[in-house]
């Protein structure tokens, strides 16, 4: 029995030693693959790649910026920073210098997006982010703002971001309540808003009522309307109101059309 216990105890000791040795070896293996990131700032792209590759790292040129201090084609910034510990195969992101700014930022406001892109590229610049907004006072696809502004002297990036007017959407209105009012009270309001007005009295046998005096039309009381109050309607929509006329025993129907007011 004692021999068996000694054997089990010895086995446990050997297993523990093996586990400790394995963990230690793994730790050395992991740390053995770590390298310090070299300083690449100021180097040409070829030199930066050569130095990084020697340590098992990869150089990724992510961006370009103007610089009055670092010559064109050389690294202006890097991430991770020099001296950082990373694993072999890590990607070092760098930005390359374009040298001092030479191109003048053009005025793109008022141009179409396509014309602005051509203008920018001809000057050796790039179009950055393009934002689109619904702007009622601007033509579709027209540039209304840019960053940096025209003729900027201090520019860090060769990219110009622009704001473009999007496709104009139909303007909508909330239908008011005309029931109980006279036609004369609401006619100008409807005309000024650019709508088509149809006035109908189903009690009129003759159909159109073209001979009804204008004064009688204005005195007609609205008893029903289409669309109903509270509905949303587009500019230029037809508004139909049903009336009763106290001054004319036979009802009348007339239609009045107006062009949208500009």
Distance CA 96, CA 40 (A): 11
Q: Does the structural domain 2-97 have CATH classification 3.30.10.20? A: yes
Alpha helices in 67-204 (DSSP H): 113-122, 183-192
- Token pair recorded at residue 163: 């704001």
Distance CA 101, CA 3 (A): 85
CATH fold, domain 172-256, is Trypsin Inhibitor V; Chain A (3.30.10)
- pTM of this structure: 0.39
Looking at residue 206, what is its pLDDT?
44
Which residues in the chain land under pLDDT 50?
Answer: 28, 205-215, 247-262
Looking at residue 171, what is its pLDDT?
62
Structural domain boundaries of the chain?
Answer: 2-97, 113-165, 172-256
Looking at residue 37, what is its pLDDT?
92
Give 72's contacts (C-beta < 8 A, 6+ positions apart).
Answer: 97, 98, 99
17 burial type by CB count under 10 A (0-12 exposed, 13-18 middle, 19+ buried): exposed
**Can you give the length of the chain in residues?**
262
Question: Tens digits of per-residue pLDDT, 54-99?
Answer: 989 999 998 888 887 888 899 999 999 999 999 888 999 999 998 8
Q: What are the Cα distances from residue 206, in Å, to 104, 109, 212, 248, 252? A: 74, 59, 11, 13, 7
- Strand residues in the chain grouped as ranges (E): 34-36, 58-65, 75-79, 85-87, 91-97, 126-133, 143-147, 159-165, 172-174, 196-200, 221-226, 232-234, 238-244, 254-256
Looking at residue 2, what is its pLDDT?
64
CATH fold, domain 113-165, is Trypsin Inhibitor V; Chain A (3.30.10)
Asked, colleague to colleague, whether 2-97 and 113-165 share their fold, the answer is yes
Looking at residue 211, what is its pLDDT?
41
């Amino acid at each position: 029995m004692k021999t068996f216990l000694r054997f089990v105890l010895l086995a446990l000791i050997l297993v523990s030693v093996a586990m400790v040795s394995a963990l230690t070896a793994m730790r050395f293996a992991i740390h053995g693959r770590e390298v310090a990131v070299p300083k690449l700032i100021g180097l040409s792209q070829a030199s930066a790649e050569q130095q990084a590759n020697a340590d098992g790292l990869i150089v990724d040129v992510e961006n370009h910026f103007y610089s009055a201090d670092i010559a064109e084609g050389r690294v202006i910034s890097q991430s991770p920073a020099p001296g950082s510990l990373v694993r072999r195969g890590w990607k070092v992101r760098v930005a390359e210098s374009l040298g001092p700014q030479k191109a003048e930022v053009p005025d793109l406001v008022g141009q179409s997006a396509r014309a602005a892109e051509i203008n920018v590229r001809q000057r050796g610049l790039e179009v950055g982010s393009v934002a689109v907004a619904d702007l009622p006072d601007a033509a579709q696809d027209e540039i209304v703002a840019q960053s940096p502004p025209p003729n900027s002297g201090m520019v860090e990036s060769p990219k110009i971001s622009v704001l473009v007017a999007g496709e104009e959407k139909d303007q909508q209105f909330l239908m008011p309540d005309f029931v109980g009012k006279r036609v004369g009270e609401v006619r100008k309001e409807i005309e000024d808003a650019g709508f088509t007005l149809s006035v109908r009295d189903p009690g009129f046998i003759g159909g159109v009522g073209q001979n009804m005096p204008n004064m009688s039309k204005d005195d007609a009381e609205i008893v029903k309307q289409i669309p109903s109050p509270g509905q949303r309607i587009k500019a230029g929509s037809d508004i139909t109101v049903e009336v009763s006329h106290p001054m004319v025993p036979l009802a009348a129907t007339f239609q009045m059309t107006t062009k949208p007011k500009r």
